[in-house]
A = this chain, B = another copy of it.
Amino acid sequence: MNHRPPDRQTPQESRGPVTARITAVDTYDIRFPTSRELDGSDAMNPDPDYSAAYLVLRTDAGDGLEGHGFTFTIGRGNDVQVAAIEAMRPYIVGRSVSELCADPGSLSRDLVGDSQLRWLGPEKGVMHMAIGAVVNAVWDLAAKRADQPLWRLLADAEPEWLVSQVDFRYIDDALTPEQALELLRSARPGRAEREQQLLRRGYPGYTTSPGWLGYSDEKLTRLARKALADGFTQIKLKVGADLADDVRRCRAARAAVGPGVRIAIDANQRWGVAEGIAWTRALAEFDPYWIEEPTSPDDILGHAAIRTGVAPIRVATGEHVQNRVVFKQLLQAGAVDVVQIDAARVGGVNENLAILLLAARFGVPVCPHAGGVGLCELVQHLSMFDFVALSGTTEDRVIEHVDHLHEHFLAPVRMDQGHFRAPTAPGFSAQMHAGSISRYTYPDGEFWAADLAEREEAKAV
């Protein structure tokens, strides 16, 4: 039967006692009505409804632990993303929990390498994001079983094991397993001190909350000042819809925060190469720290040209970069000053380990993309691992913070003086409250059912 992966549902292995297995992959189409407040509005995404294609791995281990994971989307199409996660189900149900958690890379390789699913990418788009959601759910489960927050599970792991979790296919011209091992080994001295520092001070963040395109100048100014009062030393503004507006908004932001604070700007892929250079230069007088996503995330050579054209303004990208192969080239081509990993777009923690290692190899700082639904919760673990056990520094490194939707998570990010406090709860901070899941399930959850009924009623009047 070629339409199913090998049967893994053997309930018991012949060589030993009953083995705990994955018994179910439950999926949920969760959508929040964020478009109504213009939170999250930018030049390419005027009306996002922040959503999650969400899954729960259940087991028969009897320990009450589940693995949670999700893909972030912005509304329509979240159902397609859920369907893609469901296509992974036969690869997971029936697997040994202990084997899976001891080596999440084995599942990652099976899913990425499946000869038929591969055609639908390869390693990009809906299918690859689904793989990422599933792989991240395994890491959540693994960290819970280890009774550790994920960042510490990774930071405490042996370099050899971490290297075994990375797929070097298509990147070994830039980073070999031996080089990766050397990077991890050379970061071992000082780990304990850095962990203490992390627990004491947290990891620096920056905030995008003042800068959404749909906000008035008054709201921008007020929120920029609040960001400073909250301890942030970097804010970000969305740009790219209208140059005159951008000039006015950048001026207002600079006036609000003064010269000492970094202002990043973010075009969300709005431009071609020439336009990106010209527009960014036109905002240079406000001293932007980086220009983010000036053009298509697929355009490596375009980013390189823009970087040359706008220097000394830095170029940042990554939230839509599909996989490690494109990140490798952005680094090889000298196309970016800042690598912006996203926890839920590539193939999960394993592929993000590859990207962190590539960035370390090229000496380029990683400043994760976050916001959306739960992206801050996830990605903080990756940056904290990187600080403790890989790059060993937070210099010029900041995690994006957006003050949205954290209340839906069991272990929401905790901010303190502009820093992410290190999570201490076991897992990947991915788990949402059961009540949030049921209320915002689309279209049958309480919120959407009521909303739909209201709109039907309004139509009838």
Seen from chain A, the residues whose Cβ lies within 8 Å of a Cβ on chain B are 1-5, 31, 33, 35, 44-49, 73-77, 79-81, 83-84, 87, 114-129, 168-173, 269, 272-274, 295-302, 305, 320, 322-323, 325-326, 328-329, 332-333, 442-443, 455
Interface majority SS (helix, strand, loop, mixed), chain A: loop
Known A3-B443, A45-B119, A301-B333; further 8 A-B contacts with Cβ < 8 A: A3-B31, A44-B115, A74-B115, A75-B116, A77-B117, A170-B298, A298-B329, A301-B329
A52 CB → nearest B CB, Å: 12
Chain B residues with CB below 8 A from A47, complex form: 2, 115-116
Least CB distance, A453 to chain B, in whole angstroms: 13
Contact call B2/A49, Cβ cutoff below 8 A: yes
Which chain B residue lies CB-closest to A320? Answer: B122
Cβ-defined contact, B84 with A35, below 8 A: no
* B2 & A329 in contact (Cβ 8 Å cutoff): no
Q: Is the CB of A79 within 8 A of B75?
A: no
Give CA–CA (A169, B276) in the complex, Å: 12
Cα A3 to Cα B116 with chains together (Å): 31
Tell which of B116, B123, B332 touches A76, judged by Cβ atoms closer than 8 Å. Answer: B116
Q: How far is the CA of A298 from the CA of B170 in the complex (A)?
A: 9
Instruction: Please tell me if the beta carbons of A173 and B274 are within 8 angstroms of each other in the complex.
Output: yes
Partner pick for A296 among B2, B79, B325, B332, CB 8 A cutoff: B325
| CB of A10 to closest CB in B, whole Å | 15
B272 near A172 with CB under 8 A, answer yes
How distant is the Cα of A32 from the Cα of B117 in the complex, in angstroms? Answer: 16
- Residues of chain B within 8 A (CB-CB) of A273 are 172-173
Q: In the complex, what residues of B have CB within 8 A of residue A48's CB?
A: 115-116, 119
Considering only CB atoms, which chain B residue lies closest to A345 in the complex? B119
Which 8 A-B pairs have CB atoms at the shortest separation, nearest pair first? A125-B125, A76-B116, A126-B126, A75-B116, A173-B273, A170-B296, A83-B83, A298-B325
Given A298-B325, A325-B298, does the pair A117, B272 have CB atoms closer than 8 Å?
Answer: no
